[in-house]
Every structure is written in C-alpha cells, then in structure tokens.
Chains A and B, each alone.
Chain A
Amino acid sequence: MIAARIATEVKSRRLSAREAALAALARIEAHDGAVNAFTDITRARALAEADAVDAAIARGDDPGPLAGVPYAVKNLFDLAGLPTRAGSRIERNAPPAAEDAFAVAQFRRAGAVCLGALNMDEYAYGFTTENFHDGAVRNPHDLARIAGGSSGGSGAALAAGLAAITLGTDTNGSIRVPASLCGVFGLKPTFGRLSRRGAFPFVASLDHVGPFARDVASLAAAYDAMAGRDPADEAQARRAPEPIGPNQTPPALPGALPLPGALPLRVGRLGGYFAGEGCARMVADRVAAALGAAEEAEFPDPAAARAAAFLITASEGGSLHLPDLRVRAADFDPNTRDRLLAGALVPAAWVHRAEEVRRDIARRAASLFTRFDILVAPATPAAATPIGQQMITLNGESMPLRPNLGIFTQPVSCLGLPVLAVPVPEADGPLPIGVQLIAAPWREDSLFAAAAFLEASGLCRAPLAAGFAE
C-alpha cells in the first residue's frame, strides 16, 4: 500500500498504525532474504511508534500527515540507539547514536513509523550497492541485477513493498540512480534545502538528503515532513520551508493522456551529452514529449561539471577517511578503498580548479532557467546491470561501470539543482529506467507539478516488482 493511502486509512481508523507496522514487518520477514535491502530492523521501535500514533488518534489528537506510514532509512542516518554504520565495517563498532537524525525526528513528529536501516555502498561511495560487508542489494525487478546506489537499499525496499517511504542521500546521483534502476520516484532537493544533521557525511560540499516513494503524493508528503529550519545545521539555507502540500499536485486522471498544453511549464529536453542511447534515450524522449518539450536545451559543459564533481568528491571523500586509511585500510570495502586512497592524493590545485569550474558552470546554467522551467534528461545510461558486472559500453566505448552509472546525474548535482527522478516501468523488458526532471534552484514545486502530470498520464508510475505483489 502506498504511503498516502496508509496515512488516510490510519487517520480514519480503518487501519491501525500497529496493523500497518506488523504488516510491513511481516513483508520484510518474508521478502528481505531475497532482496537484502535491510541491515537493521527496529521492530520494537516500530511498534512503539505505531502505538503512539494509535494512542494519539484515540485521544482525538492529530497524529500527523504521515500517520502510521512505515518507512526506513539508508543506514547513514542516525537512529537513536543504533550505531550508524554508513555501509562500513569500521563504523558499526561506533557507539550507538544518541539521538535521531533531523530528518528521522521530523518523520517521527509526522507520525511515521521507523522499520529500520537500509543497505548502501560503503560511505556512500558507489552506484551499485554491492556492499562487501553486507552483501549486494538485489533488484526486485530481477534479483540477479543491481539496485543502483549508493542508496540501493532505499530503492529496492520500495520496489519490493517492504516500506512505504524510504530516505536516502545523493552526492552525485545516489538517490536518482537507484530510483531509476528500481523504478520508483526519488527527490534530490536543492543543495542546502533540507537539514543534513545526523546523516553521516560523504562530501559536505555536495551531499543532499531526500526521499523515495512509489507515488508523487507520498513523495511530496515525505519531502514536506523532512523540511523545517534546523538551527543546528549551519549548512542549511536560511530559508523557510516551502511545502508542496497535498493539494498542489493535480488529481489522478486515469485513462487519457492530458494535452501537453495543459501544463503551464516550459520544458526542454537536454541534448548532446545528455541524449543517452537505447532505452535510456527512449524513455527520456517519451517523458519530454509527454511534457510538451518544444525544443532541445544545452547544458553548459556537462563533461566539465561532471569532472569537477568527480574531483571534489574524490578529494573530500579521501580526506574525510584519511585517518582510517592510514591505519586500517584493510577494513574498508575493496570497492571503495582504492578510490578513497587515490582521492586523498588529489593535488590541491586540481580541487581548487574544480571549485572554480563548478561556480562558473553554475553561473552559465542559471541562464537556462530564464527559458525553461523543467529540463529532461535520462537518470542512468541503462537499466539495471547484472550483479558483478565491471564494465559498460556507452557510445561504443567500454568503460568501468561503477563510476559511470552517474554520468547523467553528476553534472546536475554538481550545481545543486533540484531533481526529481520519475520512473518509466518496463522500459527495457521488465526493467524500469528513470528520467531526471531538473529545475532551477528552490523550484521543487515545478518538479512536483510535472511529476504529478506524468503520473496522471500513466507514463510514470512505480508498481511493485513482479513477485512482490501485496
């Protein structure tokens, strides 16, 4: 059941929060062995939070907009009482978190019920979630394939119906890549929009937190719940929340595709570097056409933006972990260790230049949004690849898979732009592929309007994977 529906049922007393929590826990018990999305299940906490929601309803109190909604978080979010492992072996022996991350506390206040923590790439450095310590997350649409990463557990848990909402982080594409490969909606808000307090950092100058959901209304409810000024997070923009709300998305229009002209948004399809190939190109073209994209838009020097993000990531990530790399490199995931070691050696002149390139391209990109409200691009270059695959062929060139799954996401997050990944089911056989909707800074409202339009048209939707039907 989708999140928005659960909250409605719980608030109307047709379903208790405890019943919803027990049903979710039973699904995890039944299916997570196949998917490997969860690393921690917080059963006692879930039932206590559910009982608190039911008690509030019994008293006649407002239980919150996410009343009884079972959710789970990437295991880099602090959950009080649990070590925040961040996908690593090293951190799992850390003391338990003293308090919840800001986003988790916001969800608790909104009445949501926390089921546990989710598998991820070690320290969020990866796009495949083939975690050496916890095992690979398996894509519910094909259990032999990757779920994407680094928030792979967050995408897979939703696609298998193990949670109604999940939270993740996105530094270079770590929400958008698993959303694409698992066929769910995912939002990377504007850089600085949401508090990151209590989320284990990867690259402070690029990290974002954000939600995943199986429908646009639930994604909006999750985003609204995560919002709020956090005086303790100095990286958060000093800006009041701008909630999407339940009434700002168009109602579902089953059946006919609405006329593109009905949507008062100027939409451009990013071309050139972002054209994509094969199924990825096809789904982006379909989404652009459905939104009435009238012309092609050109992103300023995306290869340089991607390169700048890559350099900043390597350097900041390597620097963050340098103390452990010096004394216990063997405890790192082999898939991340050598990249972090190399990142720790990146010359300062390169990083300084990357920061300048980032600023210059952001300045040039701002002019795009005088002509367009929404830009459309593929989220990933292909559908989910087999677990263990090392190389991918793009534009006729064989290249390493792990860093290149983010070629379309990395230039965009480098500039801090808000992006909503929308899923196109059965884009490549049974496999979904996602499409990025990109807006000007702080214009998440435009993204939600476009996503709701696409959902209502029937083009973008997130059905449970076959074999995981409720």
Chain B
Amino acid sequence: MTDAPAPPDAAAIASYVRAAAPLAGLALDPERERAVIAAFALVSRIAAPALAYPLPRMTEPPAISAVPPEP
C-alpha cells in the first residue's frame, strides 16, 4: 500500500489557502478568503475517502490518453 496524504485540519486549510492563493495569481480580499477557505474545507472533507484509499504500491499510472480503451 502507498502512504495516503492526510487531509489537513481547519487551521492548516486556512494557512494553506492564504499561502497558495497568491501563488496561483489570486488576490483574495478577506471576505473572499473566508469563503474560499470554507469551500476548500468542503473539498477536503469530501476528498477524504480518496486520500485514504489503499492503493496498491505498484500501481503505475498508464500512459495519458483521453481515449478509453476498447473493451
């Protein structure tokens, strides 16, 4: 199994959003920042089962292709 990245806690989310937004070129005023922190907390909460999913360690991502394989 691979190590799953742990979802951050609320304080970490706020810190992360404050740090990441300018790196993405986003200037958030305080009101918008609070709203985005809340939205990111929701993403984090719903994402938790995927972040905790026990992936086989040897799983290699296949070549990127937009076209699904034939059955």
Contacts and interface: CB of A to CB of B under 8 A. Distances in A.
Chain B CB within 10 Å, residue with most, of A311, A341, A344: A341
B47 A345 contact: no
B48 A345 contact: no
A106 interface: no
Contacts of A8: none
B56 to A, nearest CB: 7
A400 B38 CA distance: 12
Q: Tell me the interface secondary structure of chain A in the complex.
A: helix
Given A325-B26, A326-B26, A359-B62, A353 B4 contact: yes
Bin the interface of chain A by size.
35 or more
Contacts of A204: 66
A401 interface: no
A191 interface: yes
Contact of A345 (B40, B46, B71): B40
A315 to B, nearest CB: 9
A341 B53 contact: no
Interface in B32-51: 32, 35-36, 38-40, 42-43, 46-51
A341 to B, nearest CB: 5
Contacts of B35: 338, 341
B46 A307 contact: yes
A416 B68 contact: yes
A307 B17 CA distance: 20
Interface string A307-346: 1101100100000001001100100000000110111111
Interface of B: 4-5, 16-17, 20-21, 24-28, 32, 35-36, 38-40, 42-43, 46-53, 55-56, 59, 61-62, 66-68, 70-71
Given A326-B24, A349-B5, A350-B50, 20 more contacts: A234-B67, A238-B67, A238-B70, A307-B46, A307-B49, A310-B47, A311-B43, A311-B50, A325-B26, A329-B26, A341-B26, A341-B39, A344-B26, A347-B5, A352-B61, A356-B55, A356-B61, A357-B53, A359-B61, A360-B53
Interface of A: 190-192, 204-205, 234-239, 301, 303-304, 306-308, 310-311, 314, 322, 325-326, 329, 338-339, 341-347, 349-350, 352-357, 359-360, 400, 403, 416, 440-442
